[in-house]
Amino acid sequence: MSESSCLAVMYHYVRDRAGGPDAGIRGLDLATFERQLDRLCAELEPVDWPQLYAWFSGWGDLPRRAFTLTFDDGLADHAEVVCPRLKARGLRGTFFVPARVLADGRMLPAHQIHLLQCRLGDDGFAAAVTAWLGAAHAGARDWLEHVDAQAAVQTYHYETAARATFKYLLTQTLPIELRNRMLDELFARHVGDSSAVASRWYVSWDQLAAMQSAGHTIGGHGLGHEPYLRLTPDEQMDDAAQSAQLLNDGLGVSPRPFSYPYGSFSEASTAACRAAGFVHAFTTHPVWIERGSDAYALGRVDTISVEAFLEQELAIAPS
């Protein structure tokens, strides 16, 4: 590590879900979240994104070993569960929001998938998808049989190989419009009204405004949470621009960071973020942020891996 380095930690779901209809969703329970914050605060010094941005831009200093907290997907968990716990500790986070959930109030495909898996189980959901595709498209067998299993396991490293392959089919392989139509129909049939569920699932404008007023940073996470490598360069430009415009219209114009959906990006992605006015972009590459890092390819470590990462990088004995 250089003289100063920062570890960005990435979170998604944070909530106790035992016994509820979404109990099968993979996320962080509150006790584990609190223990992880204890560990981070004991070994590193917390900084928020404005501090990181100032240091990275050469305007300020950073502790030698720092960490910053980031939260993806604009989930209600972040306003209802995370922010009160950060306030109690005097911590501030960066919350990346897919702008479409604020614009049209409907479920994103990624979260439709999670809830359908909870409702139907893995086998039931796979059967429903296979049946729908078989009835809707003559080429369905090719998609179902030729998923890139290695890429799937790399993307969903925390899942079993079978579950990773199936999720990769849905998020990275199927034509987007066809997949969206399928998920909308299956969600309405097996879970409920998309708008009604979304109103409980995601943060609202009022919550985001309150979070920003409390010192948290609200960043972009694309428009519809599609992997940028699935979009053409022009589509990426439009996606990032709409994401920035919606956030600026709703929360005021200010420097904001971006988080690439699914972590996928290219030179076209960084160009799109820069053109839209985002000043940083975060990936899912598990590396420290240093002053010489690429501002549009900043590393983050997933909550699943952060303690092992710390033990390896800092030679911390297990607690």
**243 with 221: CB under 8 angstroms?**
yes
Neighbours of 121 (CB within 10 A): 12
CB 164 within 8 A of CB 155: yes
Range list of β-strands (E), the chain: 5-11, 45-46, 65-72, 94-97, 217-220, 256-259, 278-282, 301-302
| pLDDT for residue 318 | 43
* Strand-strand pairing, 65-72 and 45-46: parallel
pLDDT < 50 stretches in the chain:
1-2, 317-319
For the CA atoms of 197, 199, 203, 207, the dihedral, rounded to the nearest 10 degrees, stands at: -150
Q: How far is CA 10 from CA 100, 159, 202, 252, 294, in A?
A: 21, 17, 18, 25, 18
pLDDT digits (tens, 9 = 90+) for 249-286: 999 999 999 999 999 999 999 999 999 999 999 999 99
Which residue type occupies 62?
Answer: L
Residue-level pLDDT at 317: 45
Q: Can you tell me which residue has the tokens 């919606």?
A: 246
Q: For residue 20, what pLDDT is reported?
A: 64
| CA 192 from centroid of its chain's CA atoms | 24
Task: Find how far residue 99's CA is from the centre of its chain.
Answer: 12
Residue showing tokens 């910053």? 68
37: enclosing H helix or E strand: helix 30-43
Q: Where in the chain is the domain with CATH 3.20.20.370?
A: 5-105+202-314
- Residues 5-105+202-314: name the CATH superfamily: Glycoside hydrolase/deacetylase (3.20.20.370)
**Residue 298 backbone phi and psi in degrees, to 5:** -75, 140
